[in-house]
Structure 1
Amino acid sequence: MDIRKRIQDIKGLLAKKANGLDPEIKEKIQELCNLCEELHNQASFDFLTGLYNRRFFEKELEINVERAIRERSVFSLILMDLDHFKRVNDKYGHLTGDEVLKGVAALIKRNIRKIDIPARYGGEEFAIILPGTSSEGALSAANRLKQELASLRFGPEKNPFSITASMGVATYRPRSNISAHEFLQEVDRLLYRAKESGRNKIVTDDEKVLWQNELEGLSFEEREALKGVWSYDD
């Protein structure tokens, strides 16, 4: 159930039926709706960055896996971890560290689509679900984030510093028959490889993609790219 939409529907109905309600009852219902909306926000959003929180992200990841299997579609996931973030806290303090996290969150929001789902997954780690996005699209999004991050500056005005990030990027395909948890573990391993290979890197699952004699689970962009290689019905 989309709780936010349900609350808005109730508010809309309340506005339409306002003339037939006792003013005191109307006020109490309005207060209840506002309280439900506030509780939903607290349960779904990270208070510091304004991104979705881990609980909401994991629920959405399961929903996207179920949709991919049902519709034989794909989606991608980016896991991003800020490099050497502990050094920022140690050298500049936690308030500056918080400013870095908020700055990176704002950057993510500016560089993704409205349908994408950005979350603060933990400490200095972020996750972005990209619905209907192929491997190529996900890598393009990750590269864009990496380039934009390089232009950010934090800390003292006279001596600002920049920060980098390592990323793991993978595309979920229904034929893989893995759970949301298993897919998350796979992307987390790619992130670990990015950090182990020197940080400030993007590691994808491209080398794990096995081409088969059918196009199940390929995005529209990938189908278009394969025209003339395999014959298939549009």
Structure 2
Amino acid sequence: MEQKIKSSWTEPLFTVIFSKKHITFLSILLLVTMIFSGIGLIIHRSVQGLLLEELRYTATNTAVTAAAFIEEDISPYVALTQVENYEEGDYDVYYYERMQRIFREIRRGTNVDFIYTMKQLSENTVLYLLDGEDPASDLFSPIGSTEKMDSYQKDVLTDNKIISTDMILWEGWGKYITGHAPIRDQMGRVIGFVGVDIGTMTVRNLMRKVDQVISVVALFIILLVTFYSYKIIEDRSNAYNEDYLTKLYTRRHHDRQLEMHIRKVRKKGGELSVMMIDVDDFKKINDQYGHEAGDRMLRYVAGVIRKNLRKTDISSRIGGDEFNIILPGTSLEDAGEVATRILSELEGGKESVKVSVSIGVAKWEKTMDASILTNIADQAMYKAKESGRNQVQMIQGHC
């Protein structure tokens, strides 16, 4: 009896630890942990892949947009490239400092790590002109500083084409996704390029929330985790589909939607029209009243466009002062009426700075692809400009 009492105190402990129920529970917990770890790894890699693709597009698109902005007023930039000794300060300091501020604003607004412009100094050397980095940072490259030219920079300078890279290691800088876009002078000659870099730290910061969610959820809410992860990417994608200034869609979204609607009407029939809108004498507005007034004008025009469209219509800002509208199920005549309403409202607007637009309208036909239809609308818009501006021109069929 005494011996039984001495040995019995351990039995409840072993019974609790090694009972069939607890062994089963621990086995399931281990299996669930292994399954969840595998699914979490798959989700992590998928989300990271989509994110890297979006960031690559962001780098390229930001470089193209910045290059187009410089080319709108190219003369002072050309002068900046022709300076022989930047250490002497023999250049337009006001223009340089203004562009530096703009580049810093672009960097902050787009969340890229670096944005800069360079020109070719010699066969193997490039020279910094503008740099959106904080001047107080050790990573800031002053005007006139140089570095060795890489193969991507050589391609954009010699081949006059847009270049983008995957996440690669840049000597002396680290791992970055990079987009390059050429800067052209009035004659179309390449005089330099815009570079945009997005680094691994940005990717890690964007992925951190996803990883935290994946690491703490249980198997029964994996579908919720998947939805949450997808929503992060979807929200980011939507952000890049919206023009930051006018809140209309971007060129990227417009191009995708136009291709989709053309496929739809080819398959199911129906009508499809496209409208191209360009603000008249927009450069004069910027020059006379300043870029802030120009931005307000673009937002006003975008508001008038949005007000006169249906929910099914798709309005996009595709360039500095150019807008494009896709009108599904709309004839050329009905599209012309929409264009006339937009024109009339802008003409009778109460803005202190009067604005007018030139509008070109084109209708899709069976032999047209997206580029042909867009080109016809563009030709109609230029016809409106050549005919005196502040009017609508429509083109039926091929030119």
TM-score by length of 1: 0.71
- Equivalent residue pairs, number: 182
Segments of structure 1 that go 5 or more residues without pairing to the other structure are 1-17, 155-159, 210-234
1:148 is aligned to 2:345: yes
1:52 is aligned to 2:249: yes
Mapping of 1:95-134 within 5 angstroms?
A: 95-134=292-331
What does residue 133 of structure 2 align with? none
Higher relative contact order (Cα pairs below 8 Å, separated by 6+ residues): 1
Give the match's secondary structure for 1:105: helix
> Hey, what's the Cα distance between the residues in 2 that align with 1:150 and 1:20?
61
What does residue 90 of structure 1 align with? 287
TM-score by length of 2: 0.43
> Hey, what's the Cα distance between the residues in 2 that align with 1:131 and 1:45?
20
1:164 is aligned to 2:359: no
Greater percentage in strand: 2
Aligned-residue CA RMSD (Å): 2.3
> Hey, what's the Cα distance between the residues in 2 that align with 1:64 and 1:74?
10
> Hey, what's the Cα distance between the residues in 2 that align with 1:77 and 1:51?
16
What does residue 183 of structure 1 align with? 373
Q: C-alpha deviations, 1:76-128, integer Å up to 9, x for none? A: 11100000000111111111111111111111111100000000011101011
The answer on whether the counterparts of 2:271 and 2:329 sit within 8 Å (CA) in structure 1 is yes
> Hey, what's the Cα distance between the residues in 2 that align with 1:19 and 1:145?
54
Mapping of 1:3-22 within 5 angstroms?
A: 21=220
1:137 is aligned to 2:327: no
Segments of structure 2 that go 5 or more residues without pairing to the other structure are 1-216
Q: C-alpha deviations, 1:136-164, integer Å up to 9, x for none? A: 1101100010011112233xxxxx22100
The answer on whether the counterparts of 2:312 and 2:327 sit within 8 Å (CA) in structure 1 is yes
> Hey, what's the Cα distance between the residues in 1 that align with 2:350 and 2:300?
9
What does residue 392 of structure 2 align with? 202
> Hey, what's the Cα distance between the residues in 1 that align with 2:339 and 2:291?
27
> Hey, what's the Cα distance between the residues in 2 that align with 1:98 and 1:27?
41
Give the match's secondary structure for 2:318: strand
Q: C-alpha deviations, 1:152-188, integer Å up to 9, x for none? A: 233xxxxx221000010011122xx121111111111
The answer on whether the counterparts of 1:169 and 1:187 sit within 8 Å (CA) in structure 2 is yes
Aligned letter for 2:258? Answer: L
> Hey, what's the Cα distance between the residues in 1 that align with 2:329 and 2:379?
22
> Hey, what's the Cα distance between the residues in 2 that align with 1:168 and 1:26?
47
> Hey, what's the Cα distance between the residues in 2 that align with 1:31 and 1:64?
29
The answer on whether the counterparts of 2:358 and 2:389 sit within 8 Å (CA) in structure 1 is yes
What does residue 117 of structure 2 align with? none
The answer on whether the counterparts of 1:52 and 1:119 sit within 8 Å (CA) in structure 2 is yes
Identity of aligned residues (%): 36
The answer on whether the counterparts of 2:274 and 2:373 sit within 8 Å (CA) in structure 1 is no
Pair 1:21–1:144, CA change in 2 (3 A): same
Greater gyration radius: 2
